[in-house]
Amino acid sequence: MQAAIKVTSPPARPVVIYDGDCNFCKLWIRRWQQTTGDRVEYIPFQDASIASRFPELRRDQLETSVHLVLSDGMVISGAEAAFRALAENPDADWFHDWYRHSRVFADISEKAYGLVARNRRIFSFLTRLGWGRHVERPAHFLVRWIFLRGLALVYLAAFVSLWVQIHGLIGSN
């Protein structure tokens, strides 16, 4: 939902303002940070710098949903803010495209966002039940390390076996 708010001092890069006391919000903000990298700044609305950086934003507004302050000074909130922030990663911009091009998808997204925002404790519990304590994408460093070394051992065994048998397999002629 496009807010009728525009800040007078826009940030250099988009800023997501979220509830830093909400466990559900903190979990998913970590995932978003992983998705967007350094293209988006994330600040809890409890941070003292918010009032001085964006005096146009009232605390009671910030408590109800996530807000995104864009580089042009426009402020958006709710599901649109979430999709727009994630769209800073070119690989994750398709949700924002759906939101912009489908009124039905946008309406359903906003209603679902409102439901989650009003019931954050329940959804925090469901998130932990489904994903555990970490919702970040797994890196699989250990699995990758073990797999590559195991594959190297298989190749080593194959070439040592070939070296031992090559004379008998090919023969002198």
For residue range 74-123, list pLDDT tens digits in order: 999 999 999 999 999 888 888 899 999 999 999 999 999 999 999 989 99
Q: 78-86 and 23-36 are packed helices; what angle lies between their axes, rounded to 10 degrees? A: 30
127: nearest Cα among 19, 30, 33, 45 = 30
* Amino acid, res. 36: T
Mean pLDDT over 49-77 rounds to 92
The model's pTM:
0.73
Task: Give the mean model confidence (pLDDT) for residues 15-39.
Answer: 90
Q: Is the predicted pLDDT of residue 168 greater than 80, yes or no? A: yes
Q: In this structure, what token pair is assigned to residue 45?
A: 């609305």
**pLDDT band, residue 173 (cuts 50/70/90):** low
